Homo-oligomer: A and B are copies of this chain.
């Protein structure tokens, strides 16, 4: 995001001596290390050291020697990090979230271990010592101040924790990142381990409770690499019909809740998950009559930026800015405007149960499938293969004022129903899911028993081509079940719909 970068962004004299090439820095990472890297949803990840490390590991592997590391990040990264390392089979263990095709392949073929963790839990697990010692941190920053503080780049994620906990620190100082980001960040240093914890002093999205820079112990910095390379900047596809329909149902629902006195006219802080559907909902809000909105979310995507620009969203808190190339250009051009309206925080704060519940966040997350009783699968295909991970969806869903999950009603060109009798992996239980939305409609499950939820989900959310099958399953379960609290035919729960679809196709 740079324009006129100064010659070096390493303004601290003493630290200049640590500048080296990415290959030299990568050579400082030993096999077996736990490596904490920056990066959250394709922004603010180190762009050179992981690539050089992958090269080095490939050479070592070619000599027949073993070399693997564990990679801990904020969330998903990019081809230069997860992609490069997964390709050369360099990752022993990955956590807490990924969305890279090469990583996914490795995990699902069984050559990479993966732990999928609530994003608000990761930093504290490391403070508590639950994941072992962090050996190396590799963190992208936008610059180093004269007195040795680090100016964060386009995401914060777990960087504060990695810098605090790692034995050795490698910094990538990326002059593509705008120095005008300076002041957008709010790094809270008030966290403690129990029994010394205090309330987190935030009562509104706009509250700044921390510092603009990362603190760092200069003695642990072992390498500084100067880079100039863009974030992933994935383009969003324009909202398709399904996404627009989903957005429409959600906006109608919110308007209805305002009318009923259950939401203020300017709603409550919005959280919006990753991906195209989530982006489309935000785009839908731009066309709505809502005003003076706020957001308390993980990732700021294109449509949310646009909502800020048009004045409908007055304040957004996130841990990462993840934009397309076009939106990035706008962001940089108007960064003084956006800096007054965007706060980037560490992910243990952006996703903190205490704050999500206090602020009363309206959570809207994507899913793979939901079952008729309101259990949600966000992570697994066929119950066995990982897609991405739970990410922050659980932090938000459990603690939200209202928790919604959305998906098109079918996947794979209509071949698969995303509403099923029983999800084959549960990430969000019936206790944490209040609203299910597909392009077909919205099911408001609040205050309903499992059986009444089932009727509503089938009626409102199922695709017409699967509705009869789901109804048949439910009706048969009502007669064939041992318990009528959550009627199921366990023998058929996973096979009923595929068999029905196959038979139907044969017709």
Q: Which residues of A contact B (CB under 8 A)?
A: 93, 107-110, 113-118, 121, 125, 128-132, 193-195, 197-201, 203-204, 260-262, 264, 268, 353-354, 357-360, 375, 380-386, 390, 394, 398-399, 401, 422, 424-431, 434, 446-449, 451-452, 477-478, 481-488, 490-491, 493-495
Contacts and interface: CB of A to CB of B under 8 A. Distances in A.
Nearest to A444: B130
B113 A358 contact: no
Contacts of A117: 431
A121 B432 CA distance: 10
Contacts of A201: 199
Protomer copies: 2
B353 A399 contact: yes
A127 B452 CA distance: 23
A263 to B, nearest CB: 9
Contacts of A390: 429, 431
A388 B114 CA distance: 34
26 contacts: A107-B484, A108-B483, A109-B484, A115-B448, A128-B262, A128-B401, A129-B262, A130-B262, A194-B358, A197-B357, A197-B358, A353-B353, A353-B357, A354-B358, A380-B485, A383-B486, A384-B487, A385-B484, A385-B485, A394-B431, A426-B426, A427-B429, A428-B429, A429-B429, A490-B495, A491-B495
A262 B132 CA distance: 11
Contacts of A486: 380, 383-384, 386, 425
Contacts of A426: 375, 426, 429
A447 B490 contact: no
A351 to B, nearest CB: 12
Given A383-B422, A383-B488, A493-B494, 15 more contacts: A108-B483, A116-B430, A116-B431, A118-B431, A128-B262, A130-B434, A130-B447, A194-B358, A194-B359, A197-B359, A197-B360, A353-B353, A353-B398, A354-B357, A425-B486
Interface hub of A115, A385, A493 (most chain B Cβ within 10 A): A115
A147 B197 CA distance: 38
Contact of A384 (B132, B483, B491): B483
Contact of A129 (B261, B354, B481): B261
Nearest to A205: B195
Contacts of A353: 353-354, 357, 398-399
A388 to B, nearest CB: 11
B129 A260 contact: yes
Contacts of A118: 398, 431
A108 B478 CA distance: 11
A310 to B, nearest CB: 22
Contacts of A384: 477, 481-488, 490
Contacts of A193: 360
Contact of A115 (B195, B199, B447): B447
A465 B93 CA distance: 33
Contacts of A487: 384
B382 A482 contact: yes
A118 B261 CA distance: 24
